[in-house]
Amino acid sequence: MIRLIQDLKKFIGKYSLLFWVVVFVFLSTTLTIIEIYKVQLGIFKLKGINSFLAYFSLYALHFMAALFFVSLFSKDFKWVKTRQFWVLIVVGISLFSLRSVLTFYGEVVELFAVPGRIGLSKVIFSDLVRLAFLLMMLRIVWQFYKVPNHSFYGFSAKQVEWSLYFKMLLFMLPLITAASFMGDFLEYYPRASRINVYNPEPHHYFWFEVVYALDFISIEVFFRGFMILAFLKILGPKAIIPTAAFYFSIHFGKPIGETISSFFGGILLGYLSYKTQSIWGGVLVHIGIALLMELGAFIGLMLI
Taking 80 as the threshold, does the pLDDT of residue 149 lie above it? no
Q: pLDDT digit string (tens) for 48-90? A: 899 999 999 999 999 999 999 999 999 999 999 999 999 999 9
Whole-number average pLDDT of the chain: 94
Cα–Cα nearest to 161, from 287, 41, 277, 6: 277
Q: Please state, in angstroms and rounded to a whole number, the distance separating the CA atoms of residues 180 and 202.
A: 22
Taking 90 as the threshold, does the pLDDT of residue 104 lie above it? no
Q: Say if residues 258 and 251 touch (Cβ distance below 8 Å).
A: yes
The DSSP output letter for 145 is S
Lowest-confidence region among 22-31, 77-86, 150-159: 150-159
Q: pLDDT digit string (tens) for 158-217? A: 889 999 999 999 999 999 999 998 989 999 999 999 999 999 999 999 999 999 999 999
Confidence (pTM): 0.95
Number of structural domains found in the chain: 1
- 281: containing domain: 2-303
Cα–Cα nearest to 11, from 222, 228, 238, 273: 238
Residue 303 has what pLDDT? 86
